[in-house]
Amino acid sequence: MSNQNAARAGVLSHATTTMPDAEGDFHHAFSLALMDHDPTAHPAGLNDRAARRFAIYRNNVHRGLQEALAAAYPVIKSLVGDGFFYGLAGEYMRTENHRLPSLALYGAGFPGFLAEHAVAAKLPYLPDIARLERARLEVLHAADAPAINAASLVGYEDRLAMLCFAVHPAVKLVVSQFPIHAIWQANQPERQQGGAVHNSGPVQIANRAEAVLISRPHYTLKQACLGGAGVEFARQLLAGQSVGAAYETALAQDANFDVTPVFAQLLASGMFGAFTLGEDGL
């Protein structure tokens, strides 16, 4: 290589190792200023005109993220009120270290944020309601796939106990010590505007543990409430256990557990995407 070419190679090498660092420093400063508590914050080196334009951009980003969070967690917004919710949204934005590149799926860490927030001391069910709303959002955007139903099991009636199921991709189970299904239902717009709440007074919600199975077998979101040993039965099936093994685990929790209606409910929900026979059924 000639001296001239070597010099050119050195310049290119220097450029590729130093220019991205400078650019990366600016991007880092830009990101920090974008989420700074001070509304006048902006990256160093901007003139007055650029700083004003940055402030407009910053405001648009904040408002966009807040509205995306409100769209993802409407029941949380209903429970705490608009003003408090947008205050929470502002706090949450500044705690994020990573977010998905999609506004439709924004707010994955919001349930965990609420669990650590002081508001959970007054409203301890709030993080689980957020988990329920997040599960609904993820199921809504999950992959499409055919679902197993009762007709799919014709011919296997004498071997049901040996069946193991693969979970449908659009399924989530949210388990809580609080009545999250009832609270979610009571805070739906149709219940609050001219519905049962308006006509019959406030809904009375029993203080009990509830689990919610969310599915989307045929392009329509479905939500079912599970209780008692049925929750453990569903959990075991989701974990890949056979129907027989899941039933035994549920019986250990409740000796009077009736598996038939629960299994029928799970099948109707579209919870399963495929099935195989366990080792004893080969």
In Å, what is the CA distance from 16 to each residue of 8, 20, 22, 45, 168? 12, 7, 11, 23, 47
Task: Please give the average per-residue pLDDT across 33-59, as a whole number.
Answer: 71
Q: Tens digits of per-residue pLDDT, 193-234?
A: 654 443 345 667 888 999 999 999 878 899 999 999 999 999
Structure tokens at 242: 């056979």
What is residue 281's predicted lDDT score, i.e. its pLDDT?
Answer: 43
Please state at what angle helix 48-72 crosses helix 82-93, rounded to 10 degrees.
Answer: 120
- 175 and 73 both lie in a single domain: no
Does residue 208 sit in helix, strand or coil? Answer: coil
Find the helix or strand (DSSP H, E) in which 173 lies: strand 171-176
Q: Tens digits of per-residue pLDDT, 73-124?
A: 999 999 999 999 999 999 998 887 667 667 788 999 999 999 999 999 999 9
- 122 and 159 both lie in a single domain: no
Is 101 contained in some domain?
A: yes
Pairing of strands 163-167, 272-277: antiparallel
Task: Please give the average per-residue pLDDT across 2-11, as a whole number.
Answer: 39
- 129 and 195 both lie in a single domain: no
Residue ending a domain, among 140, 164, 191, is 140
What is residue 19's predicted lDDT score, i.e. its pLDDT?
Answer: 37
DSSP bridge pairs for 174: 212
245 vs 279: CA distance, rounded Å: 12
Structural domain that includes position 239: 150-281
Ramachandran sector of residue 175 (left: φ over 0; alpha: ψ -120 to 50; beta: rest): beta
Q: Quote the mean pLDDT of the chain.
A: 83
Does residue 271 sit in helix, strand or coil? Answer: coil
Q: Are 35 and 97 in contact (CB under 8 A)?
A: no
**Statement: residue 12 has pLDDT above 50:** no
2 vs 42: CA distance, rounded Å: 46
**Percent of the chain's residues with pLDDT above 70:** 77
Is 16 contained in some domain?
A: no
- 112 and 158 both lie in a single domain: no
Is 14 contained in some domain?
A: no
What is residue 11's predicted lDDT score, i.e. its pLDDT?
Answer: 33
**Statement: residue 63 has pLDDT above 90:** no
Residue ending a domain, among 87, 107, 140, is 140
What is residue 60's predicted lDDT score, i.e. its pLDDT?
Answer: 77
Q: Using alpha carbons, select from 178, 195, 190, 220 the residue that is nearest to residue 74.
A: 190
Is 18 contained in some domain?
A: no
Residue ending a domain, among 98, 115, 140, is 140
Count up the domains in the chain and report the number. Answer: 2
Task: Please give the average per-residue pLDDT across 55-76, as a whole number.
Answer: 87
pTM: 0.80
Is 123 contained in some domain?
A: yes
